[in-house]
Amino acid sequence: MNIPTVADVLAARKAIAGTARRTPLITSALSEQVGQDICLKLETLQPTGAFKLRGATNAIAALSDEQKANGVVCCSTGNHGRAVAFAAKQLGVQATVCLSKLVPMVKVKGIEALGAEVVRIGDSQDDAGAEAERLVKEKGMTNIHPFDDRNVIAGQGTIALELLEERPDLDTLIVPLSGGGLISGIALAAKAIKPDIRIVGVSMDRGAAMAASLVAGKPIEVEEVASLADSLGGGIGLHNRYTFPICRELVDEVRLLTEQEIYTGMQALYRMDQLVAEGASAVGHAAILSGKVQITGPTALIITGRNVDMQQFSAVIAGDAVKLGDVIVSGKDKVAVDA
């Protein structure tokens, strides 16, 4: 298998310059509380509001002219779709984005506004993925996979180059984990530059496919449920090629959070660091505040995206209850709803 290398990440940096930006690294108010430097990498400031623009741009730029002429398709929890739509538009390529009905409206609208065709289908990321595969067969489009793609992984890895150039002393990187494209790219680039750096993945405790697969020793399926960290939903694919082996090899720890902890993390990100971001971006704060990740030196958290449902965000910040499928999360405790 042809696993991407740090050379691919260096090439990706050139390919994405001009579309995805180099984002700021700022100091978090958590630093004082923890007694170590905690830095925040603000991928929320990408033009599409999330880091996925890096991988999508790198993948579309690598296509042949013939592939570009036939258009691209993808399935997405939202941010990858927006990134594909944005990068495709810049490169003059037609894009179709398949989304499950779990994807918040704010993300659907953002993708449509970029001129991509949106197909809403099914109740899971897997249903959206099946539709994307159908369009590949039927129309000859190229599928830009949200994470299990060499060029996508290499694009996301450019974050690690920026981090270690700015802070070569970083001891730990805390990375929101779903399909694992982000953490795979970051881990392979960071460990090539600094082999003893610690890479910690963080997911929600319900429907964390990569975490369950790492425990099982092979890719497995888990049920997808609604989460405050909606961008972290979805499977890793039973035929996963890249991210599962890379995570198994290079990720040092995986931690899982309750919805309650993510809720508290979102409040902390807003109240302590004044950042408006989605639940997936708050898992680093949540992991530190819950004590689930020990801080052993200067640490960077990837603040992955800001495309949050504003109604839900406002409720969390106000401390109001939020309904997620069959559970309600509030400022204090989580209760099951009677059917």
Q: Which positions lie near ligand PLP, rule CB under 6 A? A: 50, 52, 79, 147, 176-183, 231-232, 278, 280-281, 304-305
Nearest approach, Cβ of residue 335 and ligand PLP (Å): 27
DSSP strand pairing (299-303 vs 38-42): parallel
What ranges make up the beta strands (E) of the chain?
A: 25-27, 38-42, 72-76, 95-99, 117-120, 142-143, 172-176, 198-204, 253-257, 299-303, 322-324, 327-329, 334-336
Nearer to ligand PLP by Cβ, of 50 and 88: the residue is: 50
Nearest approach, Cβ of residue 180 and ligand PLP (Å): 5
Q: In what order do the strands lie in the sheet with 322-324?
A: 322-324, 327-329, 334-336
Ranked by CB distance to ligand PLP, the top (closest) residue is: 305
Nearest approach, Cβ of residue 238 and ligand PLP (Å): 16
Nearest approach, Cβ of residue 106 and ligand PLP (Å): 13
Nearest approach, Cβ of residue 329 and ligand PLP (Å): 19
Nearest approach, Cβ of residue 146 and ligand PLP (Å): 6
d(CA 266, CA 151): 31
Cβ atoms of 179 and 242 within 8 Å: the answer is no
Closest CA to 44 of 23, 29, 60: 23
Nearer to ligand PLP by Cβ, of 270 and 330: the residue is: 270
d(CA 38, CA 285): 10
Nearer to ligand PLP by Cβ, of 42 and 319: the residue is: 42
Nearer to ligand PLP by Cβ, of 114 and 232: the residue is: 232
CA angle 118, 83, 124 (to 5 degrees): 50
Nearer to ligand PLP by Cβ, of 250 and 321: the residue is: 250
Nearer to ligand PLP by Cβ, of 50 and 187: the residue is: 50
Nearer to ligand PLP by Cβ, of 62 and 328: the residue is: 62
Closest CA to 51 of 308, 274, 281, 210: 281
Cβ atoms of 307 and 199 within 8 Å: the answer is no
d(CA 314, CA 311): 5
Nearest approach, Cβ of residue 189 and ligand PLP (Å): 14
Nearer to ligand PLP by Cβ, of 4 and 181: the residue is: 181
d(CA 177, CA 186): 11
Give me the sign of the Cα torsion angle 9, 14, 17, 22: positive
Nearer to ligand PLP by Cβ, of 299 and 304: the residue is: 304
Identify the bridge partners of residue 198 per DSSP, sorted by sequence position.
172
Nearest approach, Cβ of residue 301 and ligand PLP (Å): 11
**Cβ neighbours, 10 Å, residue 132:** 23
Nearest approach, Cβ of residue 204 and ligand PLP (Å): 11
Cβ atoms of 194 and 168 within 8 Å: the answer is yes
